[in-house]
C-alpha cells in the first residue's frame, strides 16, 4: 500500500499497469498506476495540456512525479481506466478475435471522448455496433442506443427484436437505465402498432402511420409477386428452359392461397386485421409449403421478396428509431 499525501488515502499499485520504468503516477479511486508519460499523457488531452504548459511548478513538487503525490483523476472508475490503458499498451488485444464485454468498450468510449481522442472513440463505437447478440443483448443495445443517442445501435436492436426473432432478455444492469428500461421493455414486449406508453397523440399517430404504411407495402409487394412472378428473362432460351415452370397459373393460385394462410395466421396481426410487422413474417413464408407451387417459381418468389423486405425492414426501423431517439423518456426507475 502507498499513502497519498494529496488525499490522505492508501493506494494499491495496479498489478498490470505499474511499470518499473514509469515516470507518471496516476491515482484512480484507490488504485495507483505508474505509466509512461510520453505514452499515456499524449492520449489524455487535459493531462497533456497541463504537463506541457511550462507553468512554474509548486515548491513541494509537481503532481504525478512521485507515488506519494500522484495525479488524481476524478469522475473515472478503475475499470474504465484499465480498459483505456489496455487499448494503449496491449497491441495483441486488437488482433485477438475474442470479443470484449460491451461495457469494456463503453468505458473506453466515454474516456476517449472526454479526453479528446476521436480515433479511439470511433473504434470503441464500432466494436459495440458490430457486437453480435452473444456479446450484447439486442434489448440492451436498444437501451444503450437511446442512452448515448446512437441511431445505428437503435436500428440494429429493432431489426433484431422484431425481424430476426431475438428474444428480449432482462438486462443485468437494470438500474443504470432507470425509467427508460421499463418504458422500452414495454415497447419491445408488445406490438409496435399498439405502443402507447409515454407517447403524445402526435407521436403515436406517427408510429401508427409508419407501421401501417409498412404493413400495406408488404401486402402490396407479395400481391405483385403473386401476379407477376416469375420475372424471368427470356433472352436466353437455355436459361428460360431451366427456370420456367410447367404451369404458372397453378403456381399463382398456390402462392395466393399460401399468402392468405400466412397473413391470417401470423402472430403479429394488427388490430385491424392487416399484416402486422412481426419478425416472423418472412420466417412464416419460408416455412410454408405452398402446396402445388413449382419449386423453381418458389425460389424466385423468395429471392425477390427477401430483397424487397430487407430494404423495407431497414427503412421502417430507421423511422421508428428516429422517433424513439426523439422521445423524452423518464430517468427514474418507478415508471
- Only one residue has cell 432478455, namely 169
Q: Are the C-beta atoms of 304 and 229 separated by less than 8 Å?
A: yes
Per-residue pLDDT at 260: 74
Q: How far apart are CA 33 and CA 24, in angstroms?
A: 8
Helices 102-114 and 78-89 cross at an angle (nearest 10°) of 80
Query: Are 69 and 61 in contact, with CB atoms under 8 Å apart?
Result: yes
**Whole-prediction pTM value?**
0.63
Would you write out the chain's pLDDT as a tens digit for each of its 335 residues?
A: 454 545 557 899 999 999 999 999 999 999 999 999 999 988 998 887 777 655 445 545 678 888 888 999 989 999 999 999 999 999 888 788 888 888 899 999 999 999 999 999 999 998 988 887 667 778 788 888 888 888 888 888 887 776 655 555 655 566 667 667 666 766 665 544 334 344 455 655 555 555 566 566 666 766 676 666 545 444 444 444 455 677 777 877 787 777 777 766 655 544 444 444 554 566 666 677 777 788 877 777 777 777 777 777 777 778 778 878 887 766 544 43
Amino acid at each position: 500500500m502507498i499513502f497519498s499525501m494529496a488525499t490522505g488515502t492508501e493506494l494499491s499499485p495496479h498489478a498490470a499497469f505499474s511499470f518499473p520504468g514509469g515516470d507518471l503516477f496516476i491515482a484512480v479511486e484507490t488504485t495507483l498506476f505508474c505509466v509512461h508519460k510520453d505514452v499515456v499523457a499524449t492520449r489524455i488531452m487535459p493531462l497533456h495540456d497541463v504537463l506541457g504548459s511550462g507553468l512554474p511548478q509548486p515548491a513541494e513538487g509537481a503532481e504525478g512525479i512521485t507515488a506519494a503525490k500522484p495525479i488524481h483523476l476524478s469522475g473515472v472508475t478503475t475499470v474504465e481506466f484499465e480498459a483505456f490503458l489496455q487499448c494503449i499498451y496491449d497491441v495483441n488485444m486488437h488482433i485477438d478475435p475474442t470479443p470484449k464485454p460491451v461495457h469494456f468498450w463503453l468505458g473506453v468510449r466515454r474516456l476517449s471522448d472526454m479526453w479528446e481522442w476521436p480515433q479511439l472513440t470511433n473504434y470503441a463505437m464500432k466494436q459495440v455496433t458490430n457486437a453480435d447478440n452473444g456479446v450484447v443483448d439486442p434489448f440492451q443495445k436498444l437501451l444503450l442506443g437511446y442512452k448515448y443517442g446512437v441511431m445505428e445501435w437503435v436500428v440494429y436492436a429493432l431489426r433484431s427484436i422484431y425481424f430476426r426473432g431475438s428474444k428480449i432478455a432482462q438486462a443485468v444492469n437494470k438500474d443504470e437505465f432507470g425509467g427508460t428500461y421499463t418504458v422500452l421493455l414495454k415497447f419491445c414486449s408488445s406490438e409496435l402498432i399498439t405502443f402507447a406508453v409515454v407517447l403524445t397523440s402526435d407521436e403515436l399517430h406517427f408510429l401508427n402511420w409508419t407501421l401501417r404504411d409498412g404493413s400495406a407495402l408488404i401486402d402490396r409487394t407479395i400481391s405483385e409477386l403473386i401476379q407477376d412472378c416469375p420475372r424471368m428473362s427470356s433472352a436466353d432460351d437455355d436459361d428460360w428452359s431451366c427456370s420456367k415452370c410447367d404451369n404458372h397459373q397453378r403456381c399463382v393460385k398456390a402462392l395466393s392461397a399460401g399468402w392468405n394462410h400466412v397473413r391470417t395466421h401470423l402472430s403479429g396481426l394488427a388490430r385491424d386485421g392487416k399484416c402486422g410487422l412481426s419478425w416472423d413474417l418472412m420466417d412464416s413464408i419460408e416455412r410454408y409449403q405452398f402446396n402445388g407451387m413449382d419449386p423453381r417459381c418458389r425460389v424466385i418468389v423468395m429471392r425477390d421478396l427477401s430483397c424487397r423486405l430487407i430494404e423495407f425492414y431497414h427503412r421502417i426501423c430507421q423511422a421508428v428509431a428516429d422517433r424513439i431517439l426523439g422521445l423524452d423518456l423518464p430517468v427514474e426507475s418507478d415508471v
